[in-house]
Structure 1
Amino acid sequence: MALTGRIRSGLPFFRYLLRSEATLSRRSIADRSFPSPNLAGSEGLRCFATKTKETEANIKIPLSLFGGTGNYASALFLAAAKANQLDKVESEILDVVEASKRSPLFSSFIKDLSIPRETRVKAVSEIFSEAGFTDVCKNFLIVLAENGRLKYLERIAQRFVDLTMAHRGEVKVIVTSVIPLPEQEEKELKQTLQDILGAGKTVKLEQKIDPRILGGLVIEFDQKVFDMSIKTRAKQMEEFLRQPLHFG
């Protein structure tokens, strides 16, 4: 059953907490004393790290991420890797993000810091135990609830996926065009990109449609942008034509 369905059917307790006027009307003192967004040394992350028992000696984070969301994503990667559950945890964390998009109730819950910390923690523990999540993912979500960082879940999940893709040697390539690429053109483009990236890398192509580029392609990967759109070419031509002429 999809996580959204499990949330909807599994916990009347959760709905009761969110609908309670008393719960929604007060903000806990702890909520106002959360650590700053740079959370590398926070108590929450240290507690989360202790929930996995193996050492980190042979585990390396494939990308250097910075900021609070990067710290959380890196901590989750280490815990999932040590538990040999990277794929499972990735699937679970993306399920939670999807549930937050589909369920207004759940979305409201993760964004509302007026809900006291102990209420958030209890609800998260109940929900994801009921949903059968791994201890790694469940404990991580509890840490986010404790620190009032559930509202950053989508961004943390995106950065976690960046890490898992890098770990698998996958490179996400976003191709923007006016219409979907024909199958043969997509295949040829993917092969060209594969040749550029070289052995040991796997191209993961994502197509986006944007009529505003007028035609051509915009290709993005590895923080590089190759803009071959008609819109950009037309702008470049316009700038060229506006330059003053110099006669010898």
Structure 2
Amino acid sequence: MNGATGGLPGRYAAALYELAADRWKLDEVLPQAEALARLIDESPELRTVLGDVRIDIEGQQKAVQAVLKAQGFGELIANFVGVVIRNRRLSSLRRILAAVAAYAAARRGEISAEVVSARTLSSAQRASVQSRLAEAGYTHVNITEKVDPSILGGLIVRVGPYLYDNSLQSRLVRLHHAMKGAA
């Protein structure tokens, strides 16, 4: 297992995935887990409830279950979140939901790649990255893009445990160290 599907979030993710698979509910549960992750990302109020340790378990149950019901989430997701709350892991819910997505992708044979660039990639650049990854043997890759102007240019690509750093910033650092060694 990689970092996204390991540890505590990975154990919860595997449990939810396997339970949904056993009940033939993957087509229902996976989109709902993704929708709940988006809801958490978009709602500062919900994030406050998730992270507030002053709220007791009963209060968390009532608040979160009310949100889930109002948003139309199914029974399996609601029960799962209830277990997360009872086990005092509500603050980890967003990471657990990310692990659910990663676990599902891994089960489908997909790999996630993070591509960091100094500027937003164009469609042609995105296609080029996709084809380069396919040449390297990564045929089923979900690419997540991030923009970081501090790398100056080039790309940093992280696929699973592998890091390919071809950024201008790291090239300059290597050149700096080489020049120091030559002096």
Task: Give the aligned partner of residue 123 of structure 2.
Answer: 183
Q: Distance in 2 between matches of 1:238 and 1:104?
A: 43
Q: Distance in 2 between matches of 1:72 and 1:243?
A: 49
Task: Give the aligned partner of residue 90 of structure 1.
Answer: 30
Aligned-residue offset at 1:119: 2.9
1:32-181 matches, within 5 Å, as: 63=1, 65-181=5-121
Higher relative contact order (CA 8 A, sep 6+): 2
**So what's the TM-score if we normalise by structure 2?**
0.87
SS in 2 for 1:99: helix
Q: Structure 1 residues 117 and 191, CA, compared in 2 at 3 Å: closer, same or farther?
A: same
1:202 pairs, out of 132, 140, 150, with 140
Aligned-residue offset at 1:244: 4.3
Structure 1: segments with no counterpart, 5+ residues: 1-62
CA contact (8 A) 1:124 1:145 kept: no
Q: Structure 1 residues 241 and 192, CA, compared in 2 at 3 Å: closer, same or farther?
A: same
Structure 2 counterpart of 1:90, which letter?
L
SS in 2 for 1:113: coil
Q: 1:88-122 CA deviation, whole Å, 9 max, x = no partner? A: 32222232232233333322222223223223223
Structure 1 runs of 4+ with >3 Å offset:
63-66, 122-127
Kindly tell me the number of residue pairs found equivalent between the two proteins. 181
Structure 2: segments with no counterpart, 5+ residues: none
Structure 2 counterpart of 1:133, which letter?
F
SS in 2 for 1:212: helix
Structure 1 counterpart of 2:137, which letter?
L
SS in 1 for 2:145: strand
Q: Distance in 2 between matches of 1:155 and 1:182?
A: 30
RMSD: 2.1
Instruction: State the identity %.
Output: 28
1:18-29 matches, within 5 Å, as: none
Q: Structure 1 residues 243 and 157, CA, compared in 2 at 3 Å: closer, same or farther?
A: same
User: Which structure has the larger Rg?
Assistant: 1
Q: Distance in 1 between matches of 2:48 and 2:147?
A: 30
Structure 2 counterpart of 1:219, which letter?
V
Greater helix share, structure number: 2
Further displaced range: 223-232 or 69-78: 69-78
Q: 1:25-70 CA deviation, whole Å, 9 max, x = no partner? A: xxxxxxxxxxxxxxxxxxxxxxxxxxxxxxxxxxxxxx47543222
